[in-house]
Amino acid sequence: MSRRHLEECVRDTLQRYFDDLRGTQPNGVHEMIMSAVEKPLLEVVMRQADGNQSKAAEWLGINRNTLRRKLTDHKLIK
């Protein structure tokens, strides 16, 4: 899957979200999208990295401590 394909999936999903609102004013869209995407992103990357947080943090381009905080926030670790 290319980056372009991923962007198209996000764009299509967001358009369906707005269509489903039927004119109702949205609220907190950025936070909703970021939280909806971040947890599965972390789950898949951690699985691909065989649970190695250092490797996963490197792949994600974030600090290992930031990764640990995000994993804790999403209840993916204790």
For 12-36, the pLDDT digits (tens) are 999 999 999 999 999 999 999 998 9
In CATH terms, is domain 3-73 a member of 2.60.90.10? no
**Domain residue spans in the chain?**
3-73
Other C-beta atoms closer than 10 Å to the C-beta of 56 total: 21
Confidence bin at 46 (pLDDT 50/70/90): very high
d(C-alpha 35, C-alpha 74), whole Å: 9
Give residue for tokens 């936070």. 31
Q: Do 59 and 45 contact (CB within 8 A), yes or no?
A: yes
Report CA-CA distances (Å) from 8 to 15, 47, 61: 10, 25, 23
